[in-house]
Structure 1
Amino acid sequence: MVPPLYLFIVHLRIAFLGLLLTALWQFFPKTDARVAVPASDTPFVPASESIRHMAVEDGFEVQLVAAEPLVSAPVALSFDGKGRLWVVEMNGYMNDTLGTGEERPSGKIVILEDSDKDGVADKRKVFLDSLVLPRAICFVGKGILVAEPPSLWYYEVVNDKPVKKTLVDGAYAKGGNVEHQPNGLYRALDNWIYNAKSDKRYRFVKGKWISEKTHFRGQWGISQDDNGRLYYNHNSQNAIGDYFLPGFGSENTHQRNQVAGFNVNVVEDNRVYPAGPTPGVNRGYAKGTLDNQQRLVQFTAACGPLVYRGGLFGKEYDRNVFVAEPSANLIKRNVLTFNGYVTSGKQAYAGKEFLTSTDERFRPVSLYDAPDGALYVVDMYRGIIQHKTYLTTYLKGQIAKRGLTQPLTAGRIYRIVPKGTKPVVQPVTADVRFLASTNGWVRDFAQQKLVDAGKPVAALRPLLTSTSELQRIHAFRTLEGLGLLTVTDITSALKSPSWSYREQALGAVPSVLTKAAAPVLAKALDGLLVRRDTLSYPYIAFLSGKIAVFDAAAAAKLRSNVLKAAPQNRYVAAAVVSTLEDREESFLDEQTDSTALIIRDLKSAVRNARSARGNHDPAVLARQYPKGAALFNTICQTCHGKDGNGVQSLAPPLNKSEWVTGDKNHLISIVLFGLTGPVNVNNHLYSAPEIAGDMPGIGYDPSLSDKDIAELLSYIRRSWQNNADRISPAEVSQVRKNLGKRDKAFTIKELTGQ
């Protein structure tokens, strides 16, 4: 029996200790009460509990739409006209740090339905299974496009079942690894289907699938604003977009995807503000990646950009760009500003985010507008979110330390709504009345259904004079999609006082161009110059190239007039050059104004054209280095470009780079462990945002042998205009041995000692 006096003393000590801790607590920094999951303890939690770990902007709430076992490893979704969710499940992605089973046909397309209309899905139906890493879908006509690398397929659908399979593009996602392959399948306002990580667009016309070259855009996810201009991003860059409509400026390969007004960093601030520690990022070991509280500082996995057009949040949220950051378990909000065709943006808040979570397994990878006006979030919900090709030793250690591999059968879909609301999904059909909706998803879907029906609709043309500008724009584009837009429709719209409507008219000119129409349209465009419609000048420059196909004289006059009207407009200069592939030198000789900006752009294109003519034959090199060519296409070309000349916002050139053709040990070291920070190539300093801040190494991937890496580097050192000698497996092995247990990227200073 314990003596009463002893118990009294124990209780007194406990009470005193409690008072002492309470007093000391006042001097410790406070954190949000929702920060309940320390970095060393990241348990799997049910979806309802995961919501409690989220903090969303005041006035909003997060509602669960679907969770495991109804959905597993979701990466993308689309709504059908009934409001059902068609979800892409990528079950093969990174089942462990080795990527075991990646090639197995475990992916699915499933249909989720809310049968009792309570806002939560309760029925699951498998539409397609046995897919290998599927990544995107898109409704068209009576079926659905499905991206399953390397191909793009079209499935006709009857009673929610695939009945016929047609190959649309056998090289849709040829090359690149799972994180660097085309995706998105975004059906835009101009009736074309666009993609991220791709320079192709698609359209179904008169019973046939057609494909055209467009600008190379982004990495994962793609969206549009109300005018049909596209937005995208890269892992380290928040929001990138185009100033002009997507059908222009990609014709001249000598401009190397660097046409002014496309691939613009519309939001240059890439700072992020996680709610809690996020040590489980690939470069967490690198100085500046994490702050002193172990929180990610800058975007490292930006994806799923969404220009919100749902109409439910209020005017201040219209055309805001929301961006997912799964590595930091958050969603960022950016506010755009429009000045003519120039778009700029800034983060909505200083030091905080629209949504954060302290559940490290919360992995928002895609964001969507929806028929109910809510913002939908696709949460892959897993520990590993980095592909094996670039998985650093540091992150492998984090994954092992905190048991982030299992489980793999989870996934959630949430919607974000104004607090206290439960918006209802209403069916959308091919009815012109939906074109006036305040919800952009509804307008888009109604337009698509009208176009897919392929039938004239008497009520469409009267809407070209609607008092609702959005309805007028969608009616205009629906007529274009049906092939019913006329030259008169366009010339009339070009006289509108609304720039947004005039822009649609300019964008639709190519759809009505014929030999007979070309002089009429050229005259109308010249009228814009006479009226000094400066916003239209870049489009006039772009369109001069389209008109030249039918009327060379009228096109030449337009081109000359627009250059005289705007000799110092960089967008006009770039637009003109985009129409002059293989004619840059002769056009340069014709220029009389040596101060005009087009001189600079022409000289650059001429240099690029001459350079391309001096390249080695890629077919010969592929036969000489088959494994090297295959690895380049899989790992390198998506960032450095097929032509080795780099990709804007991603990576610098490999062609004629001193880092490729110079010191072998430097090149091997960079490829094994990566490079971080600015790099000087051919006397030009490349740094963010011109390129991404980091190049990941591939030496962490156990599936790549020293022989493989040696052949890859030998291939690169002989490609394009590079003429360096080969690298042997022994040289790769020796560098690896010399570097020992190194597990972090190099800086240029480390490599050179300068």
Structure 2
Amino acid sequence: MAGNRRRLRRDWQVHFRVTSRAGTYQSPLPSGRRRGATWASPRQGTTAILHAAGNETLAVAGAELAKLCPSHRHPLTSSTARGTTMNRLAQRYLAACFILAMFQPAASRGDEPLPRTPPLEPAAALKSFETRPGFEMQLIAAEPLVTDPVAMVYDENGLAYVAEMSDYPYTDKTTDKPFVERTMDRPIGRVRILEDTDADGDFDRGTIFAEAFSWPTGLALWKGGVFVAATPDIWYLKDTDGDHRADVRQKVFTGFRKFNVQAVMNNLVWGLDHRIYGAGSSNGGQIRPADRPDAKPWLLARNDFRFDPRHCGSGASGFELISGGARFGNTFDDWGNRFICNIRNPVEHVVLPGRYLARNPYLPVVSALHDAAESGDALPVYRISPPEAWRVVRAARMVAEANPATPRSETNAEGYFTSSSGLTIYRGAAYPREFYGNALLGEVAGNLVHRQVLSPDGVTFRAGRGDDHTEFVRSRDNWFRPVNYVNAPDGTLHILDMYRETIEHPWSIPDDIKAELDLESGRDRGRIYRLAPVGFQPPAPPKLGEASDAELVSQLENPNSWWRETAQRLLFERQPHEAVPPLRKLLKESKNPLARLHALWSLEGLSALSDDDLALALADAASGVREHAVRIAEPRLPQAPPLAERVIELADDDEIRVRFQVAFTLGELIRSPADEDVRARASVALATIARRDGADLWVRTAVLSSANESAARLLLELLADKDFVMGSEAPPLVRDLATVLGARNKPAEIAPVMEAFAKLGPKAAGVASPLIVGLGNGLKRSGKKLADVVPAGSASAHRIHHLYESAQTLAADSTAASDPRLAAIELLATADFSRSRETLAALLAPREPQSLQMAAIRALSGYADAEVAPLLLKNYSALTPGVRGEVIQALLAQRDACSPPTRSAATWPWRSINRRSSYRPTSAAGRPCFSASVRPAIG
């Protein structure tokens, strides 16, 4: 229940917090024996008590519980010497059923509807906030001046362009159907310009710049106009006559899928590289330039994207798919590190660039993203607003379903991240220094602003809660919906409050509950706040549009990111040759490393960056400048040997992030038409990084992305290094290089590696098993197995045989530690089924640790053998729910699972599969494969 504060006392009281109606109600359990079961709720947020005054009433409640929750199959009570006790699951069910009965929708209750919370007027809403000490919320715009704000940018003269998503979540609820595209919705979104005409820091004039957009969620400025992300299109708008209304309205890209309203592309932001980056989210699409409808589309899946604004609408595309693909949020830190957020993942760092990963299709990559912060059930939030009644009802239903896979954020109406939104790195100068670089985002359902503190962790970051057992900003107003944030010219963070009664995807609300809600309530409202230090007085609006080129260059040293980035953008737009000398001077002489970084990219954007400039940057004292210099120099290296030599030298840089970028760039040099000697030295440098950083997942992936065609050569070089093969960093790198080698499946590459494997001495035993595991896994990807590439009777075959024997013994040894046994199972998964069958099957016994059972199941699922399914099912009824889930997934991955023997069909767990999994078995032709003989077992 909401608050997760259930407990059982001797008098059988179950406590839980709810959003309540006033009054006292009798428990609606259908039995006539209801004494002591009451609902007392004189005010919102009170504690309700379900009181069963003794064992007799408890038994009645238990009987009714069985009727209300028929899926419950466990004893509700047990008898001991101390008397009757209620088990924990029964407590949860009893509480859930009580809430369901009290808050069941009106249609089935014949009662008044679910309670709804009225909005607060702006002055009252200001009083509802609780902020971190030293900060306050300052209202700078409210309806009717603005409504439904979800994105905002400030132009060079302080005008604010605001995207108003008035069509959230739909414009006609009668046409809203789950999993149906929303192509017919009426486009009622807008872009509005807000002005502060009297320079007091508050907006006092609003003008509709353009309207009739569908789901507008992102804005980016360019040459006096603005790009607008409005699914399914990206537009360019511009006012040419000064009336704050768009005269130019040009569609530049189209094809973004209009499907899930909470999974649309969003948040266009400028990068240091003069490209505009957008969050692609998860709707996908087939993206084309709007003026080239016959062009081959980019297939957007779980990707983000970027584009060059200079080429939009000119017949060229300038569009590129990049790593990413979360939900609503897209932000950079000062050094160009990009972060996104997902529903339950508040801070994800985009670590691996997709353009590098695409070079090696055999990479064993799990994700290009890193969860820098704790996520999901591991990260509580601390709201002060009561959960909405409908959320309490939905959570209670989830509890009653008793699905162990359901996260706590679904079985609790409050307390966990369910709607991360608008992730933004604070980069202004108005807050105390400790807040610079912090990540802020909204938990929109919880009416709060959450803060994470970022710190470097190798090539990526780790993030920790910034406020213990509280939040940076939280409101008692259920309508406060902080969906996005802006680093403003005044150095503070501006908060966009969509101000809606309900923020939730319509498909996520049961129909009977949804019938009592108005998901469009609040469409005529919206607020914008300045999150400021107490007593903060905003400066006058900027006038950078009137600044000279020299003045723009000087702003690259400004401590506020808005000023630096706006100055760099204006220089890129103007392309002034006169700015080159002061930029070179800034690159050479500035004491501010961020100013040198902006000068470096500005020179590149003006096509004025010389090799001498790059050489200077490659030797810069700041590692971030060196890192970006390597990236910029990359396309020049084949034709610039001195620069190539300098980049090769940086393989020994003290900073891991520089070596990380160098590892990527060396791959381009190795594949280039550069001098053969230069390419050879690049390969040696790549091996140097591999030795030093091979244990780091991210650097290892960078090395592997560069070593597609040279994987065998690199692996042989490493195996010949006696010091390396004895080190702790060797096994993961050897395994992954061998995986690439196996997936390539070229006998001429594999043979010398296997010869080197056979000659490995006793001190190199630590890399023998990882090499075989990697090679075996890679060969599986190419449809082969070890026996196909290792000659029978060879020295390498003999050594593999002994490895398997040792693995069988170790895996079966119940006295051994888990980690070595897990490694043994992983090795056995590469052996023939006839060798590993008995050992893996024995590990499915309930007496074995769950981790070993699941590892054995995964190993067995890799075999295409008719015996696998019966082995997995043999002890199914004795397995724990978690292990059963692994069995189900393994069965669904098995081709033979589609045609179980008729005689055993009744033993197959299809009921569990249907109830707990979104997957369905299909035949080899892709058709559902439930045969008539199996269908009775499905039920």
Name the counterpart of 1:438.
Answer: 559
Name the counterpart of 1:480.
Answer: 604
- How far residue 263 of structure 1 moved from its aligned partner, in angstroms, is 3.0
Amino acid at match of 2:650: L
Separation in 2, partners of 1:154, 1:143? 7
Aligned ranges for residues 214-613 of structure 1 at < 5 Å? 214-242=322-350, 249=357, 251-255=359-363, 258=366, 262-268=369-375, 270-279=379-388, 280-281=390-391, 284-285=395-396, 286-287=398-399, 296-339=414-457, 341-393=459-511, 397=513, 405-424=520-539, 425-429=541-545, 431-456=552-577, 457=579, 458-464=581-587, 465-510=589-634, 512-513=635-636, 515-517=638-640, 519-530=641-652, 533-547=655-669, 548-551=671-674, 552-580=679-707, 592=719, 595-604=730-739
Separation in 1, partners of 2:449, 2:117? 20
Amino acid at match of 1:443: R
Separation in 2, partners of 1:236, 1:401? 27
Amino acid at match of 1:507: R
Using the TM superposition, name which of 482-491 and 204-213 deviates more.
204-213
- How far residue 145 of structure 1 moved from its aligned partner, in angstroms, is 1.4
Structure 1, residues 546-572: CA drift from partner, whole Å, max 9, x if none?
223342445434323322443433332
Name the counterpart of 1:150.
Answer: 232
Contact 1:312 1:373 in 2 (8 A): yes
- Describe the shift of the 1:256–1:306 C-alpha distance in structure 2 as closer, same or farther (beyond 3 A): farther
Q: What secondary structure sits across from 1:201 in the alignment?
A: strand
User: 2:122 matched to 1:42?
Assistant: no
- Describe the shift of the 1:613–1:383 C-alpha distance in structure 2 as closer, same or farther (beyond 3 A): farther
Name the counterpart of 1:115.
Answer: 197
Using the TM superposition, name which of 64-73 and 546-555 deviates more.
546-555
Name the counterpart of 2:752.
Answer: none
Aligned ranges for residues 47-126 of structure 1 at < 5 Å? 47-95=122-170, 103-126=185-208
Q: What secondary structure sits across from 2:169 in the alignment?
A: coil
Using the TM superposition, name which of 476-485 and 251-260 deviates more.
251-260
Using the TM superposition, name which of 178-187 and 281-290 deviates more.
281-290
Separation in 1, partners of 2:411, 2:321? 46
Amino acid at match of 2:268: L
Separation in 2, partners of 1:677, 1:298? 26
Q: What secondary structure sits across from 2:227 in the alignment?
A: strand
Using the TM superposition, name which of 64-73 and 267-276 deviates more.
267-276
Larger of the two Rg values belongs to structure: 2
* Higher helix residue share: 2
Separation in 2, partners of 1:234, 1:386? 15
Separation in 1, partners of 2:692, 2:443? 44
Separation in 1, partners of 2:653, 2:475? 53
Q: What secondary structure sits across from 1:69 in the alignment?
A: coil
Amino acid at match of 1:226: D
- Describe the shift of the 1:199–1:421 C-alpha distance in structure 2 as closer, same or farther (beyond 3 A): closer
- Describe the shift of the 1:59–1:35 C-alpha distance in structure 2 as closer, same or farther (beyond 3 A): farther
Aligned ranges for residues 597-746 of structure 1 at < 5 Å? 597-604=732-739, 680=886, 723=926, 725=928
Q: What secondary structure sits across from 1:112 in the alignment?
A: strand
Separation in 2, partners of 1:453, 1:677? 62
Amino acid at match of 1:415: R
Contact 2:381 2:417 in 1 (8 A): yes
Separation in 1, partners of 2:322, 2:360? 10
Using the TM superposition, name which of 362-371 and 68-77 deviates more.
68-77
In the alignment of these two chains, the number of paired residues is: 617
Amino acid at match of 2:380: R
- How far residue 164 of structure 1 moved from its aligned partner, in angstroms, is 4.1
Name the counterpart of 2:65.
Answer: none
Q: What secondary structure sits across from 1:515 in the alignment?
A: helix
- Describe the shift of the 1:718–1:84 C-alpha distance in structure 2 as closer, same or farther (beyond 3 A): farther
- Describe the shift of the 1:537–1:530 C-alpha distance in structure 2 as closer, same or farther (beyond 3 A): closer
- Describe the shift of the 1:34–1:66 C-alpha distance in structure 2 as closer, same or farther (beyond 3 A): farther
- How far residue 329 of structure 1 moved from its aligned partner, in angstroms, is 0.5
User: 2:285 matched to 1:210?
Assistant: no
Amino acid at match of 2:441: V
Amino acid at match of 1:284: A
Separation in 2, partners of 1:538, 1:46? 52
User: 2:261 matched to 1:183?
Assistant: no
Separation in 2, partners of 1:589, 1:181? 47
Using the TM superposition, name which of 336-345 and 364-373 deviates more.
336-345
- Describe the shift of the 1:404–1:560 C-alpha distance in structure 2 as closer, same or farther (beyond 3 A): closer
Task: Structure 2 unaligned segments of length 5 or more: list them.
Answer: 1-42, 49-113, 177-181, 282-302, 400-405, 744-776, 784-857, 870-880, 891-913
Name the counterpart of 2:305.
Answer: 200
Which fold has the larger relative contact order, with Cα–Cα distance below 8 Å and residues 6 or more apart in sequence?
A: 1
Amino acid at match of 2:599: A
Q: What secondary structure sits across from 1:597 in the alignment?
A: helix
Using the TM superposition, name which of 275-284 and 239-248 deviates more.
239-248
Contact 2:423 2:484 in 1 (8 A): yes
Separation in 1, partners of 2:455, 2:714? 36
- How far residue 94 of structure 1 moved from its aligned partner, in angstroms, is 2.2
Separation in 2, partners of 1:153, 1:612? 42
Amino acid at match of 1:570: L
- How far residue 462 of structure 1 moved from its aligned partner, in angstroms, is 0.4
Amino acid at match of 1:234: N
Give me the CA root mean square deviation: 4.2
Amino acid at match of 1:470: L
Separation in 1, partners of 2:536, 2:883? 46
- How far residue 586 of structure 1 moved from its aligned partner, in angstroms, is 8.0
Contact 1:329 1:356 in 2 (8 A): yes
Amino acid at match of 2:190: K
Q: What secondary structure sits across from 1:376 in the alignment?
A: strand
- Describe the shift of the 1:406–1:572 C-alpha distance in structure 2 as closer, same or farther (beyond 3 A): closer
Separation in 2, partners of 1:263, 1:284? 29
Q: What secondary structure sits across from 2:347 in the alignment?
A: strand
- Describe the shift of the 1:321–1:727 C-alpha distance in structure 2 as closer, same or farther (beyond 3 A): farther
Separation in 2, partners of 1:678, 1:434? 61
Using the TM superposition, name which of 240-249 and 403-412 deviates more.
240-249
Q: What secondary structure sits across from 1:170 in the alignment?
A: strand
Q: Percent identity?
A: 26
Separation in 2, partners of 1:598, 1:297? 41
Using the TM superposition, name which of 449-458 and 578-587 deviates more.
578-587
Separation in 2, partners of 1:497, 1:403? 58
User: 2:192 matched to 1:135?
Assistant: no
